[in-house]
Homo-oligomer: A and B are copies of this chain.
Amino acid sequence: MSAQPLSFSTGIYVGTFDPLTNGHCDVIERASYLFQSLTVGIGDNVKKKPFFSVKERIAILKSVCTSLNKNISVKSFKGLAVEFAKSEGASVMVRGLRTEADYEFEMQMVMMNKTLCDTIETVFIPTRQELSHISSSLVREVAVMGGDVSKLVPDLVFKKLKEKQA
């Protein structure tokens, strides 16, 4: 077991948020009460072409997170999440757990992150059941086919999705 006490003053929550969903917001808000400050990191994956650009996603998350809690900051990052966490001085990564399939993937990430950086802890926050079916990819797919996703994403995201399709 780790020999020296960790400092949990800063938590980190990373994702692609393409787009931000009500499920993400639920985890962000609840996580924000766990730490003195919470950094939300938007993964800037150069390989995948995103639906919303990193710039658009930063603007959306900054706007929405302001209304969730005061101690949340939003940044984008390139590369490994553990490196981003270290650069932020964060020792705890927060992950949402939606489904059993999530669980298995997440456990692999926990183990991989432990291999890459032994000083980062991970805590899971269970997504509320009524939000557990909302993945960003499903929201995107439904929105593109004309489905009404207004109950699944923050108002701002809904507005931006409509602009994108127009």
Contact, CB under 8 Å: A116 / B147: yes
Most-contacted residue by chain B among A106, A126, A147 (CB, 10 A): A126
Q: Which of B80, B125, B130 contacts A146 (CB 8 A)?
A: B80
User: Please, how many angstroms separate the alpha-carbon atoms of A8 and B114 in the complex?
Assistant: 25
The segment from A23-31, A55-63, A157-165 found at the interface with B is: A23-31
Number of interface residues of A (CB under 8 A): 55
CB-CB under 8 A from A132, the residues of chain B are 108, 111, 129
Q: Is the interface of A mostly helix, strand, loop or mixed?
A: mixed
Contact A116 B148 (CB under 8 A): yes
CA gap between A116 and B138 in the complex, in Å:
12
Closest to A107 in B: B126
Q: Are A126 and B122 in contact (CB-based, < 8 A)?
A: yes
Copies in the complex: 6
* CB-contact partner of A123 in B103, B110, B114, B123, under 8 A: B123
CB proximity to B under 8 Å, residues A60-74: 68-69
* Residues of A bordering B, CB below 8 Å: 1-2, 5-6, 8, 25-26, 29-30, 33-34, 68-69, 79-80, 82-83, 92, 97, 99-101, 103-104, 106-112, 114-116, 121-126, 128-130, 132-135, 138, 142, 145-148, 151-152
The 9 closest A-B pairs by CB, nearest first: A111-B133, A124-B124, A108-B133, A129-B129, A103-B103, A79-B145, A6-B33, A123-B123, A110-B126
